């Protein structure tokens, strides 16, 4: 792990490298960042780590739906600015917050093993023991996601869906202390990482609600020129998760989608075959285009077969073969092109326009 680190300190006559890790200030972000720091510390016991927490645009604007703010980097821009100014050496994100095109000079140096990527139903205490199917007609469900709302409106037309903002703590407080919502929909991964798995009343399978691109996975973003940092964090890559998420990100990028349109995915790796299901929805869920494609992935030889680094939708994974990475990325592109050939662009364009006027 040779190379210049940005911060060096003398302790008892020896030089200690200090790695500064950028993160959002929320409790969940800190828990996620601490988990990455713990893994790095186990791998590199002599490393000194400092956590630098900061607020992002998405953390500050809490009275507007995410899809309305019009900023692609809601939860990442301030962190990337600090990375660019050399104030931090790496940044930990929820992968689903990272745009499919990163700013020049940045790359995702690690995608860690994915937690459960599915969405979960958290019920108001008065509805304990029920499921979405069993809730009274016209019950109000809180979600900040167009993707969730579009799918669930189609699946549960008897329910009403309204926006709810704030971090996990805030949204759970709004649910529990008021009667505005019968339930809210949250990522199962966040609830589990917070130690609140007991609040999960129902995990939504892909037949009810497919998940967001990259949901449940953590990403470590670094400066692409920092070879020593990139090499250090790359050991955290989880091959299965990397390949699944690259296919998902390629699908979203080819569709030119984001948080302002309902795009959903579901991926599986079985017997060296990567399966990708992707869908686009109208805002009310009435119009939907959905399909599945697959590709063989050579898992036996996962050694990187080139001296050159090449990012795949922002991910640099030197511990995987370029062929496997290319195959995963091409799968996402091919599925997106299939849906585009069937009219996905019209659905997404209409969804963007309707969202803008709401």
CA 303 distance to own-chain centroid: 26
Q: Which helix (H) or strand (E) holds 190?
A: helix 188-193
Q: How far, in Å, are 87, 100, 329, 357 from residue 248 at the CA level?
A: 31, 10, 8, 28
For helices 344-357 and 322-341, the axis angle rounded to 10 degrees is 80
Burial class (CB in 10 A: 0-12, 13-18, 19+), 101: exposed
Burial class (CB in 10 A: 0-12, 13-18, 19+), 149: buried
Tokens of 107: 């790359």
Q: Which helix (H) or strand (E) holds 324?
A: helix 322-341
Query: What residues act catalytically?
Result: 97
Is the CB of residue 207 less than 8 Å from the CB of residue 133?
no
- Distance between CA atoms of 61 and 71, rounded to whole angstroms? 11
> Given its phi and psi angles, is residue 172 left (phi above 0), alpha (psi -120 to 50 degrees) or beta?
alpha
- Distance from the first to the final alpha carbon of the chain: 52
């Amino acid at each position: 792990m040779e190379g210049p680190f940005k911060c060096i300190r003398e302790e008892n006559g020896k030089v200690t490298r200090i790695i500064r890790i950028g993160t959002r200030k929320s409790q969940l972000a800190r828990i996620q960042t601490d988990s990455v720091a713990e893994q790095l510390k186990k791998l590199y016991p002599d490393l000194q780590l400092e956590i630098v927490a900061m607020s992002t645009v998405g953390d500050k604007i809490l009275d507007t739906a995410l899809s309305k703010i019009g900023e692609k980097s809601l939860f990442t821009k301030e962190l990337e600015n600090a990375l660019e100014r050399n104030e931090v050496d790496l940044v930990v994100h929820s992968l689903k917050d990272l745009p499919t095109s990163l700013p020049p000079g940045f790359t995702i140096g690690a995608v860690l093993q994915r937690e459960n990527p599915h969405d979960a139903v958290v019920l108001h205490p008065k509805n304990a023991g029920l499921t979405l199917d069993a809730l009274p007609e016209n019950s109000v469900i809180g979600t900040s996601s167009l993707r969730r709302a579009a799918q669930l409106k189609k699946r549960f037309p008897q329910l009403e869906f309204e926006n709810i903002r704030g971090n996990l703590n805030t949204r759970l407080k709004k649910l529990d202390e008021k009667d505005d919502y019968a339930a809210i929909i949250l990522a199962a991964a966040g609830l589990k990482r917070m130690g609140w798995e007991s609040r999960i009343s129902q995990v939504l399978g892909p037949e009810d609600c497919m998940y967001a691109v990259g949901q449940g996975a953590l990403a470590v973003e670094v400066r692409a020129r920092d070879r020593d940092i990139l090499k250090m964090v790359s050991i955290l890559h989880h091959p299965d998760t990397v390949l699944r998420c690259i296919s998902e990100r390629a699908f979203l990028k080819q569709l030119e989608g984001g948080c302002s349109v309902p795009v959903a995915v579901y991926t599986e790796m079985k017997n060296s075959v990567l399966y990708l299901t992707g869908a686009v929805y109208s805002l009310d869920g009435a119009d939907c285009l959905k399909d599945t494609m697959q590709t063989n992935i050579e898992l036996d030889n996962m050694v990187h077969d080139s001296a050159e680094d090449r990012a795949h939708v922002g991910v640099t994974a030197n511990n995987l073969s370029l062929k496997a990475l290319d195959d995963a990325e091409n799968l996402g592109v091919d599925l997106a092109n299939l849906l585009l050939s069937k009219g996905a662009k019209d659905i997404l364009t209409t969804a963007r326009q309707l969202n803008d006027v709401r």
